Every structure is written in structure tokens, then in C-alpha cells.
Structure 1
């Protein structure tokens, strides 16, 4: 009868964070709070949609640290 040696389990292993599904977080944020998180480089968007996202970002937050009021 072979007995496998018991592997040492590091106590720090339980401190490792769980992997978060970011797409699920974004979807939940949109459905529950109407918060949209989207990148202007998202390949699921066509050129017009990416340009709209870029312009909205620039209008709301400015470019190069400059804010529009």
C-alpha cells in the first residue's frame, strides 16, 4: 500500500484574493445603478461608438489634466 506524502499547505494561501470577474461587476453596476464602465478601445464597439465614448470622456473629465466646467 502506497501512502502519498502530505503536501505542506502554506498558511498565506488563504490570504490570496479571489479572482474577480470584472465583466460581471460592470454588468451588475449597469443593471443595478446605471453606471457604465467602457473603454474607448473596446473592440466590441464600432468606430462611431468608440468616438462617442472618447468625446464624452473628454467633455466630462478633460484631456491632459484639464477639466471642462
Structure 2
């Protein structure tokens, strides 16, 4: 982890982003006061696939597809 000023961050943003992408944490300060930390976002989760979680949904109620009675006035 290293510290840069706001001016240095603006001047070297591309390089700092690349460093963050490779796991470095960069503290951005105004004068001697730290004001922000530049870190990479966690990796995106893998795409979900149909059937990738068999057995997790145990059952649905028999009326799952039925429209609630209070909504019928709005669609008829």
C-alpha cells in the first residue's frame, strides 16, 4: 500500500488503476489527510447456469402461479 496526493492520482490515474487491478491498495490524500482508498473490485461471479443448484428448491405451493385476489381488479 502506498499513498499519493490528489494531484498525483489525477496525473497517474491509468497507472494507479493498473496497480489496483493487480492487488495494490493506493491511499489518496489531500495534504497529509487520507481521503480515499483505491482498490480493485472483487472478481465478478461466474455466470449462473440452469440446473446448477439441484435440490435447493424443495417445493412450490400448489397456488404459486395463481394471481392474488386483490390484483384481479387491476387486470380485468
TM interval, shorter chain, is under 0.3
TM-score (normalizing by structure 2): 0.26
TM-score (normalizing by structure 1): 0.27
Larger radius of gyration: 2
Q: Which has the higher helix share?
A: 1
Q: Which has the higher strand share?
A: 2
